Chain A
């Protein structure tokens, strides 16, 4: 393409023209207009006239920042223009560079190095500050390394503006090139004593950012900061000093003692809210053991909360959240205001208040708080309502329902939450309903009551958000039907016509629950009648034991309600059973032709069963003849078997259960499955959702110890006889007691929890004990029901390990910034061109020396650095050798070395041990 003509440069569209015409473009044609403008700019930018070029760049920058146009193709032109002598062009170019360069990916940044260096040493202060601003935005490791010496010079510039900006820019340079710390640090520290407010503010700002990451390194500077805290009257500087102290105080308790007074003084006398808030935050985060100060701070927070300014309210709530971590009383004292904030018009404030309310939940107040929250949920907008419900579910479910003492109440409350009009938390509620039904045996009867209400209400079926809850309710009703007062009612509810509104998967649960209810009724009926005649004696004998068990449980659980047992019996008249069967048949008949496989299959199952038992029922109605008895027996036997398989309690199983199953000899597990691990490796295991379908009977293996955990109510003699019986039949599945388990060659069934031997059971006992201990509150008269839980520690350990390693990585990087950790030095120096490599060696030599000197006089972290110091010394001697080897070519670096050494010597006395 040709360069721009004379006409082009004479009649170039200025930035104003561009903006004006862009604003006049009809909507929709903008992209076309921008594309045309970019085309123009592409031509103009090649001009040799700096003015034309500069305008072109300005237009590009405008389009980039407001319309997000990619202008990386023009990067070279920015560099080119930055060498212009005119300040106006220079600043256009630098601005474009600062806005559009990406330090990590823009290659031409390196071409800017020379120009930046030239401008940094320019006599024109404006050029220098321009270069500094640019450097601070686009700094990358190479730029930082190459420009460190220039920056070092500027740190003692006589021009205040320049020095100030240099100090601020140092921050970015340190971040990108940690070795620069060794060169510049001392001069930065000197500036702390400068009387100019601007410079002081810059230095304090710099340290404020630096202490954020690795506060310990700056502890020796505490006296200087302290002086600033006492003398400085500028709020913005004070805020930053307070931030520094907030980080330093936890490291050195004596420092806290000296800080408290001046900070309280500031809090009392200063009017500026930002400063007062910073004081409050500093005290609450770092000085929480100074009671009087905390009291003062909490008082200030209360003032904030009482103000009309929403900002102060919001911050006050945040401050309380900080206080809550160490001093829950502070929140409790201000509970009235927090609760009031729940109905604030600002959703951010409400959320903050909600979080705070959830922090103060404990066993004693959980009911009261939930009551308040649900009333708020009912009157707030849908979004916040769900936010509240989510928080309640999360808090109450935390750590296996740690705060819940009265499960009967909680289960009722879950039902209530499900009925909140805007509720969209159906999935969570459903999970908790099922989870509690499995874990908390004592809550089951209440749970069945609650789920009955849910299942029976035809209005709920129309709400799609309720479906998950209904599925859980149907499952619970079916599973624990023996605790129900009226199984027939449940059956009717499960088969009501409106269930056609449910999604197929939920409907399948409904049908299966109906199946279970039917089985239960049939079984009870048969047993009642069977006692008289029809049960064959052999069948009764072999199943007698478990029958008694079921019966006992029935009696025990329904103890409180004399009605239930008799009402069940009442309903078991033959006619009603028949009616029940007919009901099921009529309702499920059409579903056998359903398009949904789940629905189809389950309804076919039920229908098949009905087919089997109906002749029997009809037969016995007809006062059966001899040849029918045989068929009846068969049917009743089937019913028995199915019922037994259905009546086994489902229980939660530890996610780690499988790991404890011994791998039998000769079973190759890894083959061909290794590849899967890569895929599945990072899939997070669900914590509570893995259930097995087998009765968790493992406690029986190790006798009475475990029985305390699970089946307290059973008398010991019965359990031992049960155990003996069980052992006789299933000893095959147990591992030899005490002995090594390798002897058995049988395959343990894949998810049979019976294989979990003593250690698992002991875990259980330990855990339940723990839960009892933690859940103990003197104010409650009722004992907390046992919550079955497992040691899922391994899983969580994995998770925390992962985050820990991440933290280690981060702190490693931090160390690199502050201490210039040598471990990383070789890798960074490898990338560098040989010329600057010398500087690296120089400075890392410096580090070793500093470490030694610090080590020898360190009073504070002495023991911590011990091991480190030795290693450093060894390494530094290696460095020394390398250093000598390079001596030949070092003639030109005398100056810098001298400088660094001087910095070292001078630095030692600069750090007085203020604290000792």
Chain B
């Protein structure tokens, strides 16, 4: 499977996809690959795949990803992804590795991400204490 383009603006592709009316099929041929895209409100998710990959499966994966994002952010919207682009990437890393689907259970992904976040929170608290900052600055 090809690489995932997460809301990353590839001009060529967006030109092709945005001009397509709703209720058309979700596949576009592009440079010998196929691009599967799906629109959720104002968000487009595109995935570039090989000719013999299963398009419907890819649509399901996109949906899977969106559902997880939705759970994590609580009805996800464009701003969530813009301000938390790194988190979107981390979640994606839990779902796909080397282009292959990794985790088909939404619960597991949610659990893993929560665990990582708690690690980050702990570190943040430590880092943002004033004493720590002063220690850093006066070093």
Asked if A629 CB lies within 8 Å of chain B CBs, one says: no
Q: Is the CB of A169 within 8 A of B97?
A: yes
* A87 near B97: Cβ-Cβ < 8 Å: no
Report the minimal beta-carbon distance from A367 to chain B, rounded to whole angstroms: 30
Are A86 and B123 within 8 A (Cβ)?
yes
A49-B133, A88-B124, A274-B60 in contact; A19/B83 too (CB < 8 A)? Answer: yes
Residue B100 interfacial (CB < 8 Å): yes
How does the 8 Å CB contact mask read for A130-150 relative to B, with 1 for contact and 0 for none?
A: 101100100000000000000
Q: A119-135: contact bitstring with B at CB < 8 Å (1 yes, 0 no)?
A: 00000001001101100
A48-72: CB near B (< 8 Å → 1, else 0) gives: 1111000000100110011000000
Q: Residues of B contacting A311 with CB < 8 Å?
A: 25-27, 55-56, 59
Pick from A89-97, A787-795, A826-834, A855-863 the stretch touching chain B: A89-97
Residue of chain A at shortest CB distance from B86 = A95
**B18 contacts chain A at the CB level, 8 A cutoff:** no
B98 and A349 contacting across the interface, CB-CB below 8 Å = no
Of A86, A91, A164, A277, the contact of B56 (CB 8 Å cutoff) = A277
- Of B90, B101, B133, the residue contacting A205 (CB under 8 A) is B101
**B102 CB–A CB distance under 8 Å:** yes
Measured between alpha carbons, how far is A16 from B87 in the docked complex, in Å? 13
CB distance from B4 to the nearest CB of A (A): 11
> Given that A236-B57, A277-B54 are known contacts, is A169 also in contact with B98, CB under 8 Å in the complex?
yes
- B15-45 CB contact bits vs A (8 Å, 1 = yes)? 0000011011111110000000000000000
Complex Cα distance A65/B25, Å? 28
Given contacts A66-B9, A310-B24, contact A92 B86 (CB under 8 A): yes
Cβ contact within 8 Å between A48 and B112 = no
| A348/B28 contact (C-beta < 8 A), A168-B100, A234-B104 known | yes
Residues of B within 8 A of A62 (CB): 85
- Residues of chain B within 8 A (CB-CB) of A611 are none
Within 8 Å by CB of B116, from A89, A126, A209, lies A126
Give the CA-CA distance A345 to B104 in the complex, in Å. 35
- Nearest-neighbour CB distance to chain B for A113, whole angstroms, equals 19
Q: Which residue of A lies closest to B26 (CB)?
A: A311
* B24 A87 Cβ-Cβ under 8 A: no
Contacts of B24 on A, CB cut-off 8 Å?
A: 310, 345-346, 348-349
CB closest chain-B residue, reference A345: B24
Contact present for A314 and B57 (CB under 8 Å): no
Contact A172–B82 (Cβ < 8 Å): no
Asked whether, in the complex, the Cβ of A239 is within 8 Å of the Cβ of B25, the reply is no
For the residues of A in contact with B, the DSSP-based class is helix
What CA separation (Å) do A48 and B26 show in the bound complex?
A: 48
- Whether the Cβ atoms of A91 and B90 lie closer than 8 Å is yes
Q: Which residues of B contact A345 (CB under 8 A)?
A: 21, 23-24
Residues of A within 8 A of B127 (CB): 50-51, 86
Please name all residues of chain A whose beta carbon is closer than 8 Å to the beta carbon of B25 when the two chains form the complex: 310-311, 313-314, 346, 348-349
- Find out whether the CB atom of B98 lies under 8 angstroms from the CB atom of A168: yes
> Are the CB atoms of A87 and B116 closer together than 8 Å?
yes
Instruction: Give A310 to B28 CA distance when docked, in angstroms.
Output: 12
What string of 1s and 0s marks CB contacts (under 8 Å) between A142-185 and chain B?
Answer: 00000000000000000001001100110110000000000000
State the Cβ distance, B92 to closest chain A Cβ, in Å: 9
Structural contact, B133 and A10, CB atoms closer than 8 A:
yes
Question: What residues of B have a CB within 8 angstroms of the CB of A87 in the complex?
Answer: 116, 119-120, 123
A9 and B98 contact, CB distance less than 8 A: no
B133 & A310 in contact (Cβ 8 Å cutoff): no
Closest to B24 in A: A346
Residue of B nearest to A52 (CB): B136
Q: Which of B59, B100, B105 contacts A209 (CB 8 A)?
A: B100
B55:A164 contact, CB within 8 angstroms: no
Q: Does A6 make an interface contact (CB < 8 A)? A: yes
Closest to B21 in A: A345
Assess whether B77 is interfacial by the CB under 8 Å rule.
no
A650 at the binding interface (Cβ < 8 Å): no
Residues from chain A with a CB closer than 8 A to the CB of B71 are none
Asked if A812 lies at the interface with its beta carbon under 8 angstroms from chain B, I say no
Q: Mark A77-106, 1 if CB is under 8 A from B, else 0.
A: 000000000111101100100010000000
Chain B minimum-CB-distance residue to A4: B137
Does A706 sit at the interface, judged by CB under 8 A?
Answer: no
Query: Does A612 interact with chain B (Cβ within 8 Å)?
Result: no
Q: Which chain B positions have C-beta within 8 A of A314? A: 25, 27
* Contact assessment for A95 and B55 in the assembled complex, using a CB-CB cutoff below 8 Å: no
**Are B104's CB and A198's CB within 8 A?**
yes
Within the complex, which residue of A89, A92, A165, A348 is in contact with B29, where a contact is CB–CB below 8 Å?
A: A348
Contact between A168 and B102, CB atoms less than 8 A apart: yes
* B83 CB to nearest A CB, Å: 6
Is A273 in contact with chain B by the CB < 8 A criterion? yes
Shortest C-beta distance, B103 to chain A (Å), equals: 6
Question: Nearest Cβ in chain A — how far from B14, in angstroms?
Answer: 13
CA distance A16 to B89 in the complex (A): 17
> What's the Cα separation between A311 and B54 when bound, in Å?
12
| CB 8 Å contact bits of B96-134 with A (1 = contact, 0 = none) | 011111111100100010011001100110111000010
CA gap between A274 and B26 in the complex, in Å:
14
Chain A positions within 8 Å of B116 at CB level? 87, 91, 126
Docked-complex contact A6 and B137, CB < 8 angstroms: yes
| A214-239 with Cβ < 8 A to chain B | 234-236, 239
- Per-position 1/0 for A186-209, Cβ under 8 A of B: 000000000001100110011011
In angstroms, how far is the closest chain A Cβ from the Cβ of B1? 8
In the complex, what residue of chain A is closest to B90 when comparing beta carbons?
Answer: A91
Q: How far, in whole Å, are A278 and B94 apart by their CA atoms in the complex?
A: 25
Interface: B93 (CB within 8 A): yes
Residue A693 at the chain B interface, CB threshold 8 Å: no
> Given A49-B136, A311-B26, are A168 and B97 neighbors across the interface (CB < 8 Å)?
yes
Query: Within the complex, what minimum Cβ distance (angstroms) separates B26 from chain A?
Result: 6
Which chain B residue lies CB-closest to A54? Answer: B127
A89 near B123 with CB under 8 A, answer yes
Contact with B along A477-515 (1 / 0, CB 8 A): 000000000000000000000000000000000000000
Whether B27 pairs with A348 at a CB distance below 8 angstroms is: yes
Q: CA A496 – CA B49 in complex, angstroms?
A: 57
Q: How far is the CA of A92 from the CA of B133 in the complex (A)?
A: 20
Residues from chain A with a CB closer than 8 A to the CB of B138 are 6
Minimum C-beta distance from B64 to chain A (A): 9
Q: Are A278 and B54 in contact (CB under 8 A)?
A: yes
> Can you name the residue of chain A whose Cβ is closest to the Cβ of B103?
A198
The distance in angstroms between the C-alpha atoms of A99 and B100, with both chains bound, is 18
**Cα distance, A602 to B105, chains bound together (Å):** 79
A132 touches B8 (CB 8 A): no
| Assembled-state Cα–Cα distance A283/B23 (Å) | 29
Contacting residues, chain A, for B20 (C-beta < 8 A) = 346
A293-352: which have CB < 8 Å to B? Answer: 310-311, 313-315, 345-346, 348-349
Q: For B123, list chain A residues within 8 Å (CB).
A: 86-89
A residues apposed to B, CB below 8 Å: 6, 9-10, 15-16, 19, 48-51, 58, 61-62, 65-66, 86-89, 91-92, 95, 99, 126, 129-130, 132-133, 136, 161, 164-165, 168-169, 171-172, 197-198, 201-202, 205-206, 208-209, 234-236, 239, 243, 273-274, 277-278, 281, 310-311, 313-315, 345-346, 348-349
Given A9-B137, A48-B136, A346-B25, 9 more pairs with CB closer than 8 A: A49-B137, A87-B116, A88-B119, A88-B123, A89-B123, A129-B112, A197-B104, A278-B57, A311-B27
Name the 5 nearest CB pairs between A and B, nearest first.
Answer: A274-B56, A205-B100, A88-B120, A310-B25, A168-B97
- CB-defined A-B contacts under 8 Å, sample of 19: A6-B137, A51-B128, A58-B86, A66-B8, A66-B85, A86-B127, A91-B116, A129-B94, A168-B97, A169-B97, A197-B104, A198-B104, A235-B57, A236-B60, A239-B54, A277-B56, A311-B55, A315-B56, A348-B28
